[in-house]
């Protein structure tokens, strides 16, 4: 995603790769730079400074980062670019080894350095940037006073409530990249959400590497439930959505609060990775199939109509046909509203990369497509069952499809990762909340017509 603003004096072209947590970091960099007097351009050819905020969580993300950097490096030859800066997960993961691999880059900044981006650029511009790689231990936590320019539509925003991860799953690089889990103070988060509400934001999406771990081993009482009890009092925020939740840290109190409070979305994103006990153990997930099912059934029982999203992994070392069959049956039986899946790849430095019994690529591919085909049928059936229902839709703007006038999202659709609701005709401003009657259910999206405006 490219972050844009009107250019003044020295112009910056900023590209943000990866997840929503990275996007928040990019929004902070844009805010810091704007505060320091830099302008922004949507044209890479016109940029004096190019910044790439990278992801390196998995191999595909690393490849995308390298390709993007090398492509933009051409602007130092053919465009106005004088400095190319690479930030985020890629420098933090690979550190000084990138100096030889990417000599085109003038400065590498790790995951804890982005708030000081203006200072680093000033040193570069003054010829005092002798150190090309800064990747110390990340300790920065956002505050409500941190400058930030939203890259999301003005009616929705991500709110990062914690940094880092302490789970140590055997396949994951995040603890090495982002450091141990650190919760922000509730007061800091509440103040930020109030600031966002004053800007017209109606939906906040709470994010962290593990959102439901918020407050664990911290001086903040009540954990995520205590935080949510404060956030629901901000009346202008209509939807509070929970993303990246670990099933191990979902408590009965949290489930009860979700059932009780209208402006907490009946939606939960909880990446499960697998359901087979032998695989969960090898993955270091610290949860069993029985515990997972207890959480899922409690959510469905206590929060009627809740939409559940998960992410699964196939091809983990040692995954047998029996393990995969249990996963396939689980998906078929439980019928998630939204499901993402990826194929396991060895990641340098992880414990899983040293495990034996690798699954052949062909079998991983077959297992991936089997679950995708199954989930497509489940999603299609769920969406078709919504035909005739009246639902609240948050309008995002003009439709990306020429067949429809507008598009938006329902409470059960998270931004970017789930489907959308296409509106057949009419005019509404972005941020409007309307009641729409669903006229058709597609595999991943819905089609509807506005029957009344709610805001």
Q: Say yes or no: 313 and 360 in one domain.
A: yes
- Average per-residue pLDDT in the chain? 92
Q: Say yes or no: 428 and 336 in one domain.
A: no
Worst-scoring range by mean pLDDT, 19-23, 50-54, 281-285, 305-309?
19-23
Q: Say yes or no: 369 and 426 in one domain.
A: no
Q: How far apart are CA 365 and CA 356, in angstroms?
A: 19
Grouping H, G, I as helix, E, B as strand and the rest as coil, residue 411 is coil
Residue 435 inside a domain? The answer is: yes
Q: Say yes or no: 127 and 215 in one domain.
A: no
- pLDDT number for residue 2: 47
Q: How far apart are CA 148 and CA 14, in angstroms?
A: 14
- pLDDT number for residue 154: 79
- Confidence tier at 109 by pLDDT (50, 70, 90): very high
Mean pLDDT of 323-335: 97
DSSP-derived letter for residue 273 is: B
- Confidence tier at 230 by pLDDT (50, 70, 90): very high
- pLDDT number for residue 129: 61
- The percent helix, strand, coil of the chain (3-state, each to 5) is 35, 20, 40
- pLDDT number for residue 258: 96
Closest CA to 33 of 60, 53, 61, 14: 14
Structure tokens at 23: 């996007």
Q: How far apart are CA 354 and CA 174, in angstroms?
A: 17
Token match 């992880």: residue?
A: 350
Q: Say yes or no: 231 and 345 in one domain.
A: yes
> Tell me: the pLDDT tens digits for 174-184?
888 898 999 99
- How many domains is the chain partitioned into structurally? 3
CATH code at position 360? 3.80.30.20
- pLDDT number for residue 357: 94
Choose the final residue of a domain: 365, 385, 405. Answer: 385
Q: Say yes or no: 63 and 183 in one domain.
A: no
Neighbours of 125 (CB within 10 A): 14
Percent of all residues in the chain with a pLDDT value above 70, rounded to a whole number: 97
- pLDDT number for residue 454: 61
Choose the final residue of a domain: 385, 409, 440. Answer: 385
Choose the final residue of a domain: 385, 419, 444. Answer: 385
Q: Say yes or no: 173 and 61 in one domain.
A: no
Q: Say yes or no: 126 and 21 in one domain.
A: yes
CB 255 within 8 A of CB 245: no
Q: Say yes or no: 191 and 277 in one domain.
A: yes
Q: Which residues pair with 314 in a beta bridge?
A: 343
pTM greater than 0.85: yes
Structure tokens at 183: 């919760």
Q: Say yes or no: 56 and 111 in one domain.
A: yes
Longest CA span, the chain = 65
Residue 272 inside a domain? The answer is: yes
Q: Say yes or no: 375 and 432 in one domain.
A: no
Q: Say yes or no: 345 and 215 in one domain.
A: yes
Q: What domain range is 367 assigned to?
A: 156-385
Q: How far apart are CA 337 and CA 448, in angstroms?
A: 19
- pLDDT number for residue 181: 92
Q: CB-based burial of residue 129 (10 Å sphere; 0-12 exposed, 13-18 middle, 19+ buried)? A: middle
Token match 């009482």: residue?
A: 221
> Tell me: the pLDDT tens digits for 385-396?
999 999 999 999
């Amino acid at each position: 995603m490219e972050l844009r603003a009107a250019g003044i004096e020295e112009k910056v072209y900023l590209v943000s790769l990866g997840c929503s947590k990275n996007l928040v970091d990019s929004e902070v960099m844009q805010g810091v730079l704007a505060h320091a007097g830099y302008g922004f351009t949507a044209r890479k050819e016109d940029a004096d400074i190019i910044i790439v905020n990278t992801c390196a969580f998995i191999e595909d993300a690393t490849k995308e980062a390298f390709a993007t950097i090398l492509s933009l490096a051409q602007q130092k030859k053919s465009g106005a670019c004088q400095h190319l800066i690479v930030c985020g997960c890629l420098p933090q993961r690979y550190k000084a080894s990138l100096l030889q691999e990417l000599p085109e880059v003038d400065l590498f900044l790790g995951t804890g350095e982005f708030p000081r981006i203006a200072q680093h650029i000033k040193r570069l511009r003054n010829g005092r940037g002798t150190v090309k790689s800064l990747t110390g231990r990340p300790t920065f936590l956002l505050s409500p006073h941190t400058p930030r320019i939203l890259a999301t539509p003005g009616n929705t925003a991500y709110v990062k409530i914690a940094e880092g991860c302490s789970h140590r799953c055997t396949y994951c690089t995040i603890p090495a990249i982002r450091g141990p889990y650190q919760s922000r103070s509730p007061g800091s988060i509440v103040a930020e959400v109030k600031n966002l509400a004053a800007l017209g934001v109606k939906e906040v999406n709470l994010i962290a590497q593990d959102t439901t771990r918020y407050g664990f081993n911290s001086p903040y009482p009540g954990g995520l439930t205590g935080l949510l009890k404060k956030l629901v009092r901000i009346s202008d925020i209509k939807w509070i959505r929970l993303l990246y939740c670990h099933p191990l840290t979902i408590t009965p109190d949290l489930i009860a609060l979700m059932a009780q409070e209208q402006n907490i979305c009946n939606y939960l994103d909880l990446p499960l990775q697998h359901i087979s006990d032998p695989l969960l153990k090898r993955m270091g997930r610290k949860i069993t199939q029985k515990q997972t099912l207890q959480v899922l059934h409690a959510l469905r029982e206590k929060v009627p109509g809740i939409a559940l999203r998960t992410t699964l992994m196939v091809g983990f070392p040692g995954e047998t046909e029996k393990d995969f069959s249990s996963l396939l049956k689980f998906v078929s039986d439980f019928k998630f509203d939204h499901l993402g899946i990826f194929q396991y790849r060895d990641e340098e430095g992880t414990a899983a990369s040293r495990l034996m019994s690798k699954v052949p690529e062909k079998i991983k591919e077959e297992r991936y497509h089997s679950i995708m085909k199954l989930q497509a049928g489940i999603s299609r059936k769920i969406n078709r069952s919504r035909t005739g229902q009246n639902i609240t839709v948050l309008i995002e703007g003009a439709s990306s499809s020429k067949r429809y006038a507008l598009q938006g999202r329902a409470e059960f659709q998270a931004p970017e990762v789930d489907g959308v609701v296409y509106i057949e005709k009419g005019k509404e401003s972005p941020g409007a909340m309307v009641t729409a009657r669903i006229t058709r259910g597609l595999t991943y999206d819905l089609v509807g017509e506005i029957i009344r405006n709610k805001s």
